[in-house]
Amino acid sequence: MLRIGKEIALHRIVVKLGTNVIMRQDGKVALGLLCGLVEQIAELRAQGVEVLVVSSGAIGLGMERLGLRERPTVLSQIQACAAIGQSRLMSLYDDAFDQLGCPIAQVLLTEDDFRDAVRHANLRAALDALLTMGVIPIVNENDTVSTIELERSTEYKPRERIFGDNDKLSALLLKHIGADLLVLLSDVDGLYDRHPGEPGATLIPRVEAVDEKILSLANGSNGRGRGGMVSKLESARIVLHAGKQVMIANGRTPHVLERIVSGEGLGTRFAPAQPRSGAMLMEEI
């Protein structure tokens, strides 16, 4: 078991890789960067840390395979890109982890996997079994079908979305499988006190609570992925309410995971809120 300073004993962590980490600006796969992150994840696993990877990028890879320069606006076409890109995404991970002797598993989730008690129990049991066997689960939202499941006929009551991107999915996953730390990797260094492109913008190294003041610092979507800083902050709030910690860091930083685990002050760390009782936690999705 690893430990970050005196604060966190790491037994199980969730690492979320954003689209802008998986893909280059020209729409091609950032293969060198991806393989470097895979090596770091494999090293953590070798040190006894159970790692779950939540990976975006399927839609971007599907677009690349189809030769599309711009993201489609028609829902069915977006879902088609996800279906095409998901197999390629898993192939990339399988090849990279296989070189390091690490077996992986594909886990595609929809919101009903968290809403339905039986499905949730089955998910938790399957993930626990995979991790116990030394397997690294590669998790993604099932974009090919999940939106269809939400667009039901009027005989069904409308439902509030639990997650609409992999930032929130990774937060819920941490909460429901009892992980110790969530690392959100994208193409930004962390949370700034103003838009990072403005002169004098300062990185905020630590956040105690995600309140309206902190949310006001977010600056919208990052372009290709569905998430953005708002989504990351909302995800951090979910994790803080579960009494755990979150790191937002730049996935393009050399040896980023190794440096985070060693306690180096990269990115923005969200300190845990006061842990609440199990009864209170069960009231939330």
* pLDDT per position as a tens digit, 224-235: 444 588 899 999
Cα(33)–Cα(37) distance, integer angstroms: 6
Given this model, what pLDDT does residue 283 score?
A: 37
Given this model, what pLDDT does residue 279 score?
A: 34
Cα(206)–Cα(185) distance, integer angstroms: 16
Cα(236)–Cα(241) distance, integer angstroms: 9
Place of tokens 């079994």: 129
Residues 22, 29, 85: CA angle, nearest 5 degrees: 80
pLDDT for 282 beyond 70: no
Given this model, what pLDDT does residue 281 score?
A: 36
Give, for 31, the enclosing helix (H) or strand (E): helix 31-46
User: Which of 174, 92, 102 is closest to 135 using CA atoms?
Assistant: 102
Better pLDDT: 136 or 278: 136
Lowest mean pLDDT of 68-82, 125-139, 180-194, 265-279, name the range.
265-279
What average pLDDT score do residues 67-87 get?
A: 92
pLDDT for 162 beyond 60: no
Cα(84)–Cα(106) distance, integer angstroms: 15
What distance lies between CA 145 and its chain's CA centroid? 19
Give yes or no for a contact between 176 and 11, defined as CB atoms under 8 angstroms apart: no
With cut-offs at 50, 70 and 90, classify the pLDDT of residue 115.
confident
Give yes or no for a contact between 161 and 111, defined as CB atoms under 8 angstroms apart: yes
What average pLDDT score do residues 53-69 get?
A: 93
pLDDT for 6 beyond 90: no
Given this model, what pLDDT does residue 263 score?
A: 86
Domains of the chain: 2-149+158-282 (3.40.1160.10)
Give, for 184, the enclosing helix (H) or strand (E): strand 181-186
pLDDT for 255 beyond 60: yes
Whole-model pTM above 0.85?
yes
pLDDT for 277 beyond 70: no
What average pLDDT score do residues 44-63 get?
A: 94
With cut-offs at 50, 70 and 90, classify the pLDDT of residue 36.
very high
